[in-house]
Amino acid sequence: MTFKKITTNKVAYSIIVFAIGLFFFGYNSANAATMQINSNSVSLSPGGIATLSVVLNSESVAINNADAKIMFPTDLLEVVSVSRGGSIFSLWVEEPVYSNVSGTITFNGGIPAPGFTGSSGTAISVVVKAKKVGQADLTFSDAAVRANDGLGTDVLRAKTGKTISIIEKEQPTIKEIPRREPESVPAVIALQVTSPTHPSQESWYTDISPVFRWKVPTGVTAVQTGIDDNTSGSPRVTYSPAISEKTVKDLKDGVWYFKVRARKDGEWGQTSTYIARIDNTIPKKNNVAFSYDDDKKILHIDADIIDETSGLDYYKVYINGSFLKKVPSGDFVNGKYSIAVKTPGDNTIKLVAVDRAGNSVESSGDFKTMTVKVEEAPVQPATTNEQLLITIGSFTIPAVYFIIITLLIVIILILSAFILGLYYSKLRNKIKVCPVLVNGDNTEALLLFKKRLEKYLKVLQRTRHTRILSKEEKGIKEAIERDLDELDRAIEEQRTE
């Protein structure tokens, strides 16, 4: 049948057009990709952490590039970190970034030929934290997946977001109606659970073997316990007689719900639940880089570190082995942080990332700050804005401090001389009466004056061993010595009469 005859035959023509259309449209449908957001948790409580993954399904088409913009409600969710660890992409047109202000997550990654073909290729991972109760919808506002065909053909067929339910924290209770049990549960035998190893139900701990305790009320004959990583489980193991403590060993990382209830008078009471949060794994370090801007004296830190269980809490920065600063994890915007460092020469830096359970991972690096050579300027007279220094031995002090100290010493010396002068003047006044007293037997009075003069003379002699006496002090010393000689002669004359 010739082409002309085929075109004139309406039935044959219709069949051919349908077949051609089916071929092309069917081919495009078969060779199409999908993009979706997966999560390790569909519900959270305020303050809870979840890890999201953007996953690609190439559906048998080799792809070499994908980009997307994801929107999230900033009043309900907060992005803790974005990571490209484990990504199928090795080339990045745009690094994965996020903004908790505008509520966006963006990325643009690529892979060399022959590209990627598979059903579950992870593009990026995102750790989010719930803020308050609500339905948090993560949606794609823009996305593309391009084939490895040399033309950059967009083969994205469908994109699927994610909804995370944020619910109030509460102590879950499981209402059970076992056979031959009354509908009402005796509230008096609801047990109050505590934990010495995990004392706060809101905090994370590294201990993988938590201990749970409770008081056994009077009349309780048995207890049932159980532990699950979800709220829907119920106690299964019975202990009779009743126990008051249970240790659960070797739990994996995550949130665990310990449940216990008591039996009294043949009836099981209400189930009590205690939450234990365990994170015994150090944060995952994908890549950490340090760069130094010598012009601005700024050290830039780019840390691709995530903690999928409890989340990062803070970073500690050390320069040359000395602690410099503690930085909250939220201050690392998209894993980046800058800090001023002016230590000259070769330097080392250590960054310690700590999660909410206290696990940590370290990263080290080095950088060099260049010292600027300042040309020597000609010596000029000091101005009022310059500070003169005076060096005494190994000490260097500002000139103004030296002047103040010198003045204080001079004042102290003057006051000391003045006080000694007053004492000496009083003694001289007393000695003036000696000629009157000498007319009688006044040997004891003269000896008393001599003793006082000798006392003050000793003070001056001790002072002479510690420092040089002033001119006034030397004069006082010589006068006292002369008076002592006169007293010795007067005493001698008194004794011979």
Q: What average pLDDT score do residues 7-14 get?
A: 48
Confidence class of residue 481 from pLDDT cuts 50, 70 and 90?
confident
Give the residue from 310, 190, 188, 211 showing the smallest Cα distance to 258.
Answer: 211
pLDDT of residue 80: 92
The one-character DSSP state at 469 is P
pLDDT at 490 over 60: yes
pLDDT of residue 1: 47
Q: Are residues 213 and 260 in the same domain?
A: yes
- Give the Å distances, CA to CA, from 328 to 28, 132, 283, 408: 49, 21, 15, 50
At 28-52, the pLDDT tens digits run 444 579 999 998 877 888 988 989 9
**Most confident of the following: 319-333, 391-405, 439-453:** 319-333
Task: Give a yes or no: residue 357 inside a domain.
Answer: yes
Task: Give a yes or no: residue 172 inside a domain.
Answer: no
Q: Distance (Å, rounded) from C-alpha 497 to C-alpha 492?
A: 9
Q: What average pLDDT score do residues 250-254 get?
A: 93
Q: What is the mean pLDDT of the chain?
A: 82
Q: What average pLDDT score do residues 403-410 get?
A: 85
pLDDT at 250 over 50: yes
Cβ–Cβ under 8 Å, residues 198 and 276? yes
Give the residue from 96, 112, 120, 108 showing the smallest Cα distance to 144.
Answer: 108
Looking up residue 131, the CATH number of its domain turns out to be: 2.60.40.680
Q: Are residues 426 and 468 in the same domain?
A: yes
Q: Are residues 143 and 262 in the same domain?
A: no
pLDDT at 483 over 60: yes
Asked which of 228, 247, 278 is the last residue of a domain, the reply is 278
Q: Are residues 265 and 292 in the same domain?
A: no
Task: Give a yes or no: residue 295 inside a domain.
Answer: yes
Give the residue from 384, 404, 403, 402 showing the smallest Cα distance to 393.
Answer: 402
pLDDT at 458 over 90: no
pLDDT of residue 30: 45
SS3 content of the chain, % helix, strand, coil (to 5): 25, 40, 35
Asked which of 113, 132, 166 is the last residue of a domain, the reply is 166
Least confident of 202-211, 223-232, 378-387: 378-387
Give the residue from 239, 204, 208, 234 showing the smallest Cα distance to 223.
Answer: 239
pLDDT at 392 over 70: no
pLDDT at 202 over 80: yes
Q: What is the dihedral of CA 351, 354, 360, 361, to 10 degrees?
A: -40
At 149-195, the pLDDT tens digits run 888 899 999 999 999 999 987 655 555 555 554 444 454 478 999 99
Confidence class of residue 385 from pLDDT cuts 50, 70 and 90?
very low
Q: Distance (Å, rounded) from C-alpha 318 to C-alpha 212?
A: 39
Task: Give a yes or no: residue 14 inside a domain.
Answer: no
Confidence class of residue 454 from pLDDT cuts 50, 70 and 90?
confident
b/e burial code for range 119-148 (CB count within 10 A of at least 16 → b): eebbbbbbbbbbbeebebebebeebbbbbb
pLDDT at 273 over 80: yes
Looking up residue 349, the CATH number of its domain turns out to be: 2.60.40.10
Asked which of 133, 166, 199 is the last residue of a domain, the reply is 166
The pair of structure tokens assigned to 56 is: 């690609």
* Parent domain of 354: 284-369
Q: Distance (Å, rounded) from C-alpha 210 to C-alpha 279?
A: 12
Q: Are residues 215 and 317 in the same domain?
A: no
pLDDT at 473 over 60: yes
What total number of domains does the chain contain? 4
Confidence class of residue 408 from pLDDT cuts 50, 70 and 90?
confident
More confident residue, 373 or 44: 44
Q: What pTM, to 2 d.p., does this model score?
A: 0.42
Q: Are residues 37 and 137 in the same domain?
A: yes
pLDDT at 432 over 70: no
Task: Give a yes or no: residue 234 inside a domain.
Answer: yes
Q: At what angle do helices 399-431 and 471-496 cross, to 10 degrees?
A: 20
Q: Are residues 319 and 271 in the same domain?
A: no
Q: Are residues 115 and 77 in the same domain?
A: yes
What percentage of the chain has pLDDT greater than the value 70?
81
pLDDT of residue 183: 46
More confident residue, 1 or 69: 69
Q: Find all residues with CB under 8 Å of 208, minimum gap 6, and list them.
A: 249, 250, 251, 252, 278, 280
The pair of structure tokens assigned to 125 is: 């991972």
| Residue 452 host element (H or E) | helix 443-466
Least confident of 7-16, 51-60, 135-144: 7-16
Least confident of 182-191, 213-222, 392-401, 429-438: 429-438
Q: Are residues 272 and 209 in the same domain?
A: yes
Q: Are residues 233 and 292 in the same domain?
A: no
Q: What average pLDDT score do residues 210-231 get?
A: 92
pLDDT at 240 over 70: yes
Q: What average pLDDT score do residues 342-361 get?
A: 93
pLDDT of residue 361: 94
Q: Are residues 35 and 158 in the same domain?
A: yes
Least confident of 5-19, 205-219, 348-362: 5-19
Least confident of 22-36, 110-124, 221-235, 336-350: 22-36
Q: Are residues 302 and 249 in the same domain?
A: no
* φ, ψ (nearest 5 deg) of residue 89: -90, 140
Q: Distance (Å, rounded) from C-alpha 345 to C-alpha 57?
A: 51
